[in-house]
Amino acid sequence: MRIPEERLERYRGLKREFSEEDHINLQPIQRGGVLSEEAMRAILEFGDGYSVCDWCPPKSARLDAIETPPVSQFYTDLAEFLGMDIARVVTRCREAKFIAFRMLGTPGDYVVVDGLAHYSSYIAAELAGLRVKEVPVGGSPEFRVDLDAYASKIDEVKRETGRLPAAVLLTHVDYQYGNVNDARTVGKIADEYGVPFVLNCAYSAGVMPVDGKELGADVITGSGHKSWAASAPTGILALNKSLEEKVLRRASVQGDLTKRAFAAKELALLGCTVMGAPLITLMASFPEVVRRVERWSEEVEKTRHLVRELERIEGIRQLGVKPKSHTLTHVETEPFFEVSQRHKRKGYFLYDELRSRKIVGIQPGLTKHFKFNTYGLTWEQIRYVADSFIEIAEKYGLNVH
């Protein structure tokens, strides 16, 4: 059907309302996905549809076999960087989880997940036909996952079904409080029971050091657009050799008339996965990512500084484990909520105040509590953000110590 010209007009000159150049963006899920300069250049070069496939080797016709650009080499380096044996780039972290669940489980099986797992972990299990059993999370303000409870939950599944769970999943760093879990605890439990351990590193791998071997992970899932300075959508699926046959099982379907078969294709990946801009930005940013994870302690230091400054405002407190060991932060900001009650813009006053100072990324309308992420900001920007919050607090007569 012909779409009228006036409706097509809205797709012309698509622009973001603010850019990384002229604003400080504290958006909790965006900081780790800001492109590197190399990625910016690469995205222009490989923006066209199948451009990554110029030199697809005709025999295998598989993305992971392409050497120009160095996709095949990248998969090797990526696995090594994560301390794993094999890596694949898939379309999303959630797809990586689905692939692991689908190939490790049998419909009806359980997966044991932490109670702070992202919604996509639950849905990935459901799409794979699996059920979910949660590991409990402690109360406010720390919201610690009870890591030792993975053992009792595995026992519970065994009692209930007579079978072990298909996998256990731990969210390395949760999306709510940015708590960093000690994955080794779960790695050991999973190993003792002989249950595959899926470590969801969406918020960790790519910004902080992650060594799958050391953590005892059998599968690592990651998100390129969340934490690897890559365009969306990109997921990472990294495996230990022992799971390769199961998780990367080849297709066995065959045409009944033509007898065509596709034994080179990895079933759960549906063959080739991410061929364009997201893959090439992931590759182009990789050298910077390898270097930046070594600066992680400094990134955390900046967050701690901002938290200390914010907590000078009476009534504001950081949620989650203290001190922060990740840049994703959740704060309770009751005093700002009180201001909002008497402000004509209600909850939007805080957004307005920040925006007028060229600070964005705090969810508009929220004042009782909100999340932010400082990853990759300079010390100067951090100090400016801290000063801005203090200034706003003082403007509205809050107590600042």
**By CB under 8 A, residue 139 contacts a copy of itself:** no
Kindly identify the residues of this chain, within the stretch 234-263, that bind a copy of itself according to CB under 8 A: 251-253, 255-258, 260, 262
* Selected range binding a copy of itself among 187-195, 238-246, 285-293, 380-388, rule: CB under 8 A: 285-293
SS (H, E, C) 134-156: EECECCCCCCCECCCHHHHHHHH
Say which residue the tokens 């990789």 belong to: 286
- Nearer residue to a copy of itself within complex by CB, 183 or 268: 268
Q: How many residues bind a copy of itself (CB under 8 A)?
A: 116
**By CB under 8 A, residue 22 contacts a copy of itself:** no
In the set 136, 140, 142, 379, which binds a copy of itself (CB under 8 A)?
136
Per DSSP, 269 falls in state G
CB of 286 to a copy of itself, least distance (A): 5
Q: Tell me the sheet residues that pair with 390.
A: none
**By CB under 8 A, residue 152 contacts a copy of itself:** no
In the set 24, 26, 42, 248, which binds a copy of itself (CB under 8 A)?
42
**By CB under 8 A, residue 173 contacts a copy of itself:** no
Spell out the residues 6+ positions from residue 298 whose beta carbon is closer than 8 angstroms to its own: none
In the set 65, 85, 188, 211, which binds a copy of itself (CB under 8 A)?
211
**By CB under 8 A, residue 35 contacts a copy of itself:** yes
Per DSSP, 200 falls in state E
**By CB under 8 A, residue 37 contacts a copy of itself:** no
CB of 20 to a copy of itself, least distance (A): 7
**By CB under 8 A, residue 138 contacts a copy of itself:** no
Kindly identify the residues of this chain, within the stretch 63-122, that bind a copy of itself according to CB under 8 A: 68-70, 73-74, 77, 80-83, 91-92, 94-95, 98, 102, 107, 115, 119-120, 122
**By CB under 8 A, residue 334 contacts a copy of itself:** no
CB of 98 to a copy of itself, least distance (A): 6
CB of 353 to a copy of itself, least distance (A): 19
**By CB under 8 A, residue 3 contacts a copy of itself:** yes
Say which residue the tokens 């791998």 belong to: 205
**By CB under 8 A, residue 352 contacts a copy of itself:** no
Bridge-based pairing of strands 369-373 and 328-333 is antiparallel
In the set 141, 152, 176, 276, which binds a copy of itself (CB under 8 A)?
276
CB of 144 to a copy of itself, least distance (A): 14
> Are 368 and 361 in contact, with CB atoms under 8 Å apart?
no
Residue-wise over 363-384: b if at least 16 C-beta within 10 A, else e? Answer: eeebbeebbbbbbbbeeebbee
Per DSSP, 401 falls in state -
Tell me the C-alpha distance between 155 and 197, whole Å: 15
* Selected range binding a copy of itself among 52-60, 162-170, 311-319, 350-358, rule: CB under 8 A: 52-60
Within a 13 Å sphere around the CA of 352, how many CA atoms are in the beta-carbon half? Answer: 9
* Selected range binding a copy of itself among 12-20, 172-180, 315-323, 343-351, rule: CB under 8 A: 12-20
- Does 209 sit behind a cis peptide bond, omega within 30 degrees of 0 on the bond before it? no
Structure tokens of 247? 């998780």
Taking CA atoms, 71 is separated from 38, 68, 75, 89, 178, in Å, by 16, 7, 6, 10, 32
**By CB under 8 A, residue 221 contacts a copy of itself:** no
In the set 62, 65, 85, 133, which binds a copy of itself (CB under 8 A)?
133
Taking CA atoms, 67 is separated from 24, 62, 74, 231, in Å, by 38, 11, 9, 21
SS (H, E, C) 55-122: HCCCCCCCHHHCCCCCHHHHHHHHHHHCCCCEEEEECCHHHHHHHHHHHHCCCCCEEEEECCCCHHHH
Tell me the C-alpha distance between 47 and 151, whole Å: 47
> Are 314 and 345 in contact, with CB atoms under 8 Å apart?
no
- Nearer residue to a copy of itself within complex by CB, 126 or 391: 126
| SS3 state of residue 343 | coil
In the set 65, 267, 386, 400, which binds a copy of itself (CB under 8 A)?
267
Kindly identify the residues of this chain, within the stretch 355-394, that bind a copy of itself according to CB under 8 A: 363, 365-366
